[in-house]
Structure 1
Amino acid sequence: MKKHLYISWVFALMLLMSFAVADFYSSMTKVDYLEASKTLKFTTKLNTAHISDAIKINPNTAGFEAEVKRYVNNNFDLYVNGSPKTLTFTGSQVNGESVWVYFEANGISEISTIRIKNTILLSSFPKQFNLVNIAYKGNQRTMNFQRGKEVNEVSF
């Protein structure tokens, strides 16, 4: 009987431990090429609490969008065909647990390579994982970034 009780307690403890909270740190960016306007449009989804912690500002305050803009500009670099491109922040939106960030790069007529440096949240969260999906003229490429692999390049 004692053996069965012990096994039951061990099983119950293991079951409780399986429900322990483990944060998952990630961002996802979707990149679409708009041929008519020769623009790369970026949509990035971040966890609201994580970006708020990183920039040290409450997402419900008036200055949140400006700080997100500054943060993204300092942590995301784009090179097309070896040339650096300027990213223009077009807005952000807090939607519950997610922050959506919108930016773009204009004047891009043809793409053979895209290189991105993405350090979003990497300094704040050691296990942060950033994913970037790029759609260009019917082709899809995926990049991933983490500490130690902050730069990635794809060819089309």
Structure 2
Amino acid sequence: MKKYLLILAAGLLMISFFSFKDFDFFSSMTKVDYIDGTKTLKFTTKLNTTHISQAVKIDPATAGFEAEVKKYVNNNMDVAINGAPKSLTFTGSQVNGESVWVYYEAGNVSDISSLKIKNSILIGQFPKQVNIVNITYKGTLKTLNFQKGKETSEVSY
């Protein structure tokens, strides 16, 4: 009887373990740094390579991948500084295994009293997507979270 209970417990443990194999975590991380000398907000976003390639519908190893990522980021990330919309300039991207790093910036930024960000990156493709943005401005770090239904958030300084 003990032997059968042990086999049953091991079987249940294996079933519960393998039930997590299809679990996928959908997130992006963006770091925003204010560079006082150049009056620039620099954005660095880390994305899952598979997820962004599914969203832009192009293989990351192809030449057109960076152009598609640029269009995608421009359509899914907006910034307003002190209530005024600010254009973002794409400065590049880099595929590094399971991650894609995307670089863009907003120039001619003087003092910031409020920063409003719309970040809908991958939310349309993956409803459980969570986007985290860490903003460092003049030594103060603030964190914003974005998800389906909450694609826009604002911080004050």
Give the structure-2-normalised TM-score.
Answer: 0.94
Distance in 2 separating the partners of 1:17 and 1:49: 26
Aligned partner of 1:52 in structure 2 is 53
Distance in 1 separating the partners of 2:141 and 2:102: 21
Root mean square deviation of aligned Cα: 1.2
Aligned-pair CA distance for 1:51: 0.2
Greater mean alpha carbon deviation, residues 132-141 or residues 3-12: 3-12
What SS class does the counterpart of residue 100 from structure 2 fall into? Answer: strand
Pairing of 1:1-156 with structure 2 (within 5 A): 1=1, 4-19=3-18, 20-21=20-21, 22-156=23-157
Once the two structures are superposed, residues 68-122 of structure 1 have per-residue CA deviations (whole angstroms, 9 ceiling, x without a partner) of 0000000000011100000000000000000000000000010011000000000
Distance in 2 separating the partners of 1:88 and 1:146: 24
The one-letter code of the counterpart of 1:149 is K
Question: What is the aligned-residue identity percentage?
Answer: 63
What SS class does the counterpart of residue 14 from structure 1 fall into? Answer: helix
Aligned-pair CA distance for 1:5: 1.2
Distance in 2 separating the partners of 1:127 and 1:56: 19
Aligned-pair CA distance for 1:4: 4.6
Distance in 1 separating the partners of 2:26 and 2:17: 19
Aligned-pair CA distance for 1:13: 2.5
- Count how many residue pairs are aligned between Structure 1 and Structure 2: 155
Greater mean alpha carbon deviation, residues 16-25 or residues 63-72: 16-25
Q: Please, which runs of 5 or more residues in structure 1 have no aligned partner?
A: none
Distance in 2 separating the partners of 1:77 and 1:135: 17
Distance in 1 separating the partners of 2:126 and 2:149: 13
What SS class does the counterpart of residue 58 from structure 1 fall into? Answer: coil
Greater mean alpha carbon deviation, residues 10-19 or residues 129-138: 10-19
